[in-house]
Amino acid sequence: MAKIHPPQHIHLVGIGGSGLSAIARVLLGQGYRVSGSDRAANVLTEALARDGAAVYTGHDARYIAGADALIITSAVNESHVEVAAARAAGVPIYRRQDIMADLMEGRMVIAVAGTKGKTTTTSMIVHILRMCGQDPGYIVGGVMGSTGTNAGVGKGDYFVVEADEYDNMFLGLKPDIAVITNIEWDHPDFFRTPEAMVEAFQAFADLVPAAGALVVNADDPTANRLAKQQEQVREIVHRYRVNSTNDYLYRAYNPEPDANGGMTFAVSGFLREPHAPRLPVRLPVPGMHNVQNALAALVASSLANCSPRDAAKALESFVPPARRFEVRADVNGVAVIDDYAHNPMSIRAVLEAARRRYPARAIWAVWQPHTYSRTQALWDDFKTAFALADHVLVTDIYAAREQPVEGVNSAALVAAMPHPDARHTPAFSEAVNALREGVQPPAAIIIMSAGDAPQIGVDYLKGLEARR
Judge whether 380 lies within some domain. yes
Give the N- to C-terminal CA distance of the chain in Å, as an integer.
56
Judge whether 156 lies within some domain. yes
Q: 224 pLDDT band (50/70/90 cuts)?
A: very high
Q: Are 375 and 397 in contact (CB under 8 A)?
A: yes
Which residue in the list 45, 73, 115, 119 is annotated as catalytic?
119
* Number of compact structural domains in the chain: 3
- Nearest CA to 426 out of 375, 342, 369 is that of 369
Instruction: Give the single-character DSSP code of 321.
Output: P
> Residue 236 in 3-state DSSP?
coil
Give pLDDT tens digits for 5-41: 888 999 999 999 999 999 999 999 999 999 999 999 9
Q: Which of 282, 315, 348 is the last residue of a domain?
A: 315
Q: 4 pLDDT band (50/70/90 cuts)?
A: confident
Instruction: Give the single-character DSSP code of 195.
Output: H
For residue 440, give the CATH number of its domain: 3.90.190.20
Which pLDDT does position 172 carry in this prediction?
96
- Proportion of the chain above pLDDT 70, given as a percent: 96
Is residue 308 located within the same domain as residue 380? Answer: no
Which pLDDT does position 467 carry in this prediction?
61
C-alpha distances in angstroms, 288 versus 279, 294, 386? 18, 10, 17
Q: How far apart are CA 136 and CA 326, in angstroms?
A: 25
Judge whether 2 lies within some domain. no
> Residue 163 in 3-state DSSP?
coil
Q: How far apart are CA 227 and CA 205, in angstroms?
A: 9
Which pLDDT does position 274 carry in this prediction?
61
Annotated catalytic, 162? yes
Is it the case that residue 3 has pLDDT exceeding 70? Answer: no
- Nearest CA to 139 out of 115, 168, 113, 176 is that of 113
Which pLDDT does position 464 carry in this prediction?
73
Is it the case that residue 1 has pLDDT exceeding 60? Answer: no
Which pLDDT does position 91 carry in this prediction?
96
Q: What mean pLDDT do residues 372-387 have?
A: 96
Q: Which of 52, 77, 99 is the last residue of a domain?
A: 99
Is it the case that residue 88 has pLDDT exceeding 70? Answer: yes
For residue 88, give the CATH number of its domain: 3.40.50.720
Is residue 420 located within the same domain as residue 296? Answer: no
Is residue 259 located within the same domain as residue 352? Answer: no
Is residue 356 located within the same domain as residue 257? Answer: no
- Proportion of the chain above pLDDT 90, given as a percent: 88
Instruction: Give the single-character DSSP code of 172.
Output: G
Is residue 286 located within the same domain as residue 174? Answer: yes
Is residue 63 located within the same domain as residue 112? Answer: no
Which pLDDT does position 433 carry in this prediction?
97
Burial class of residue 455 in the structure, from the number of CB atoms within 10 Å of its CB (0-12 exposed, 13-18 middle, 19+ buried): middle
For residue 302, give the CATH number of its domain: 3.40.1190.10
Q: How far apart are CA 423 and CA 235, in angstroms?
A: 52
Is residue 302 located within the same domain as residue 369? Answer: no
**Lowest-confidence pick of 298-302, 356-360, 398-402:** 398-402
Which pLDDT does position 468 carry in this prediction?
57
Which pLDDT does position 249 carry in this prediction?
79
pTM: 0.93
Judge whether 4 lies within some domain. no
- Nearest CA to 137 out of 153, 126, 119 is that of 153
Q: What mean pLDDT do residues 319-345 have?
A: 93
Give pLDDT tens digits for 149-185: 999 999 999 999 999 999 999 999 999 999 999 999 9
Q: Are 210 and 189 in contact (CB under 8 A)?
A: no
Is residue 380 located within the same domain as residue 419? Answer: yes
| Angle ∠(12,18,19) on CA atoms, nearest 5 | 55
Which residue in the list 73, 118, 222, 395 is annotated as catalytic?
118
Q: Are 19 and 43 in contact (CB under 8 A)?
A: no
Is residue 166 located within the same domain as residue 263? Answer: yes
Which pLDDT does position 133 carry in this prediction?
97
Annotated catalytic, 118? yes
Give pLDDT tens digits for 34-62: 999 999 999 999 999 999 999 999 999 99
Is residue 152 located within the same domain as residue 262? Answer: yes
Q: How far apart are CA 29 and CA 51, in angstroms?
A: 10
Domain that holds residue 135: 104-315
CB neighbours of residue 41 within 10 Å? 13
Q: How far apart are CA 422 and CA 382, in angstroms?
A: 12
> Residue 189 in 3-state DSSP?
coil
Q: Residue 68: which residues within 8 A CB-CB, separation 6 or more? A: 4, 8, 9, 10, 91, 92
Q: Are 452 and 398 in contact (CB under 8 A)?
A: yes
Judge whether 321 lies within some domain. no
Is residue 298 located within the same domain as residue 423? Answer: no
Judge whether 320 lies within some domain. no
Q: What mean pLDDT do residues 383-399 have?
A: 97
Instruction: Give the single-character DSSP code of 287.
Output: S
Q: Which of 48, 79, 99 is the last residue of a domain?
A: 99
Which residue in the list 162, 165, 184, 326 is annotated as catalytic?
162
* Mean pLDDT, the chain, whole residue set: 94
Q: In what order do the strands lie in the sheet with 279-283?
A: 151-152, 137-139, 158-162, 108-113, 177-180, 213-217, 238-242, 250-257, 263-268, 279-283
Which pLDDT does position 246 carry in this prediction?
65
DSSP for 51-107, please give it.
TT-EEEES--GGGGTT-SEEEE-TT--TTSHHHHHHHHHT--EEEHHHHHHHHTTTS
Judge whether 3 lies within some domain. no
Judge whether 135 lies within some domain. yes
Q: What mean pLDDT do residues 108-120 have?
A: 97
CB neighbours of residue 166 within 10 Å? 15
Is residue 185 located within the same domain as residue 245? Answer: yes
